[in-house]
Structure 1
């Protein structure tokens, strides 16, 4: 979408008319409109972001009056949930590890709940992936559909060819432990180096393991696109992710699809929420759950047991192809959209 505002007043008006025509064609040409990302339930923004910079719900309500069905996929911990409520999960508030805990322009009770009210007032169907069911996420229109964040099994495959420029040096028998953080500087406390991805736990842990003589090597990536990091994931032996949050994101999904064993904390209460709608997902989930207190023993065991790593990797690939492949996800959402259109969802 071209948002260029250069040129004469007439030229800018012509650009606005063209953008508006494209937006209206896209939005009015479909019976179901599926949105994603916090504060992104909006149509007029795409016509003129300077005139309509924030969501009001008015444009979405207009679409609903025209008979459109509105679907929305949740994104992150602040989507419809106050910081106060989210921080109550578990004995140690995860919000204490977040760089945005005291940045109300990003996350605050007022901001999060205002968004949740607006979101719930216009959506016909909402997709959750993690079971964080409090505040405005405790709603009958919110459903656990893990397939939303789908992947191409051929792009993330265990026998992925590694281009020469991404090849790591020979590991010399060391077990490579992969950990990554996107937008590292934004998401990490500059003073304490603490973040929700648990980098502050993994780095010293792996240093201790090395000092004790264990053959391990840290592969740490930050701020790289996933089509690049997949080459480093593929050359690693174990994928390590968040130890306090309670669920996982792209790093673990990609690791599973690549056939790697993965470690991440799985919050039992959230798994129960998922189990109510997708029991097989929870029953088959091969992610190794760990906490800051248990991760050293769990990671050490995986380092010392190559057969277990292979078995977890095999199960991970099978699981990911079933639950995260684009083809299977398309069938799931085709059914959801069809039921919404027919009035059955």
Structure 2
């Protein structure tokens, strides 16, 4: 559900936009609309761009109540009903913005309602092609392993095929070679430039317009702060001296194989590993959470001694980024090939990356 804090923020932003007269394009350094959410990244990036003199707004067209806890703000939200409201917003955006920044696989659209309406009359993605014909720039942010890369291609990365632990391996309506590559073809046709991070350069990600841009996946240092004060009701009741190892999975039930708890986050590895360390006399405790809103979860991150993440995927996600912002050591598998791929564009980023590398074979020694 949408929190009271987020709802109030959204209403204030909408009121400000209605009251504020539209400035001429020349009064801005640039005009960008972030179409769709990407966790909290688009919100904080748009606020930073505003401080630099940009017109930068965020449209939230996600109608799933369960997803709202990942977002930290928006300027506009399209209603669940009323095609005319969606069409009107789209038409106004053609005059208000020069850059349209989309995120997430299969989501280069202004919401499913408008997309499906247009598709009844014109070819799919005609509303995005119109943006290009009008001279608008299209930016896209990559969001995962099935984003333009065939499952068989991703599976070929070693040393262990991460797809074997994925809940969606045998669910072709979510992930398959055909589905992933069809999306990659559309994505690369429409986007002028793409943001990614992690170096997964196969299939449609092996393209000069796909750039390593870790800056897009940004955080707010005032939200994730090493000196964060912990409210009493979030304090962990553990004896002093306990080494707290934090592990977390978003959308745990849907992403985890129920019978064996296997998932790409390596939960099935960490659960028995911590039990082993405890049997050997190490004063450790696994702090395991799933599906906690990130504004609350940060209080647990702040109390952790070590944060552990994916051991076969090859890169890290939001949990590690947040932990690093709070000064916590993080353990994760960094695929050597991907590191070298990123190094070609951002050598200083790779050299300074403060993540402790581990695999299923080495993580015991790393933690011990």
Residue 94 of structure 1 corresponds to: 162
Structure 1 runs of 4+ with >4 Å offset? 48-53
Over aligned residues, Cα RMSD in angstroms?
1.8
Q: What is the rounded CA distance, in whole Å, between the counterparts of 1:225 and 1:188 in structure 2?
A: 19
Which whole-Å deviations, capped at 9, do the CAs of 1:52-97 have from their partners, x for residues lacking one?
A: 59x9222111110000010101010000000000000003211001
Q: 1:34 aligns with which of 95, 101, 106?
A: 101
The 5 A counterparts of 1:178-217 are: 178-217=246-285
Cα deviation, residue 179, structure 1: 0.3
CA contact (8 A) 1:83 1:109 kept: yes
Q: How does 1:153-302 map to 2 (within 5 A)?
A: 153-300=221-368
Count of residues in correspondence between the two structures: 291
CA distance in 2, matches of 1:180, 1:52: 39
Q: What is the distance in 2 between the residues matched to 1:275 and 1:79?
A: 21
**C-alpha deviation, 1:172, in angstroms:** 2.5
Measured at CA, do residues 52 and 167 of structure 1 come closer, stay the same or move farther in structure 2, by a change above 3 Å?
farther
* SS of alignment partner, residue 264 of structure 2: coil
Distance 1:77 1:56, change over 3 A: same
Match of 2:87 among 3, 8, 20: 20
Contact 1:27 1:33 in 2 (8 A): no
CA positional deviation for 1:34: 0.6
Displacement of 1:165 after TM fit? 1.4
CA drift at 1:48: 6.6
Contact 1:184-1:223 at 8 Å conserved across structures: yes
More helix by share: 1
Deviation at 1:42, TM superposition (A): 1.6
CA distance 1:221–1:29, change in 2 (3 Å): same
1:9 corresponds to: none
Say if 2:125 is the partner of 1:57: yes
SS at 1:47 equivalent: helix
C-alpha distance in structure 2 between counterparts of 1:202 and 1:221, whole Å = 13
In structure 2, relative to structure 1, the CA distance for the partners of 1:272 and 1:219 (3 Å cut) is: same
| TM-score calculated relative to the size of structure 1 | 0.81
Q: Is the 8 A contact 2:79 2:85 kept in 1?
A: no
The 5 A counterparts of 1:63-82 are 63-82=131-150
Moved more, 166-175 or 267-276: 166-175
Does the CA contact (< 8 Å) of 1:45 and 1:52 recur in 2? no
Shift of 1:284: 0.4
Please tell me whether the aligned partners of residues 118 and 124 of structure 2 are also in contact (alpha carbons under 8 angstroms). Answer: no
Question: Which sections of structure 1, spanning at least 5 residues, go unmatched?
Answer: 6-14, 301-345
Give the distance between the partners of 1:281 and 1:4, measured in 2 at CA: 41
Match of 2:174 among 103, 106, 111: 106
Higher relative contact order (CA 8 A, sep 6+): 1
Question: Separation in 1 of the partners of 2:284 and 2:276?
Answer: 10
